[in-house]
Structure 1
């Protein structure tokens, strides 16, 4: 599973980019992704203090769409 996210600069909120966070397991159960996503996103946010996560969702690896 992957977490797809759109992150925006705190100093320029209209300047955003898409990113992916790979999850540590290979399953395809979206409920497991949703259960663990909050802590994974919090860790990512702590590592990127200049950015704000505007939106996110879980996706199965290999089926990642082009848009969030």
Structure 2
């Protein structure tokens, strides 16, 4: 399993950033290559977070503990 960890920053306070594990069924079958290339699912997932900007993401093999949405 590939876990996608997103670094999200507030649009109203750009220095206020936090990491969040991307949790959605769209990411259940993401390959490492797709993740590293910026999985298209990230754009759809970001629509659910209109007050935040995707500053970065990383791909981790295995399940990660973290805050999910």
State TM-score, norm by structure 2.
Answer: 0.71
Aligned positions, number: 62
Gaps of 5+ in 2: 65-69
Question: Is 1:59 paired with 2:63?
Answer: no
- In structure 1, the partner of 2:32 is 30
| Structure of greater Rg | 1
From the two aligned structures, give the one with the greater helix fraction.
Answer: 1
**Aligned-CA RMSD value:** 2.4
Gaps of 5+ in 1: none
Deviations 1:30-68 (A, max 9, x none): 21433571x211011111000001011111124x4xxxx
Deviations 1:1-55 (A, max 9, x none): 1111110000000001100114212x7x521433571x21101111100000101
State TM-score, norm by structure 1.
Answer: 0.72
Query: After TM superposition, which residue ranges in structure 1, 4 or more long, deviate above 6 angstroms?
Result: none
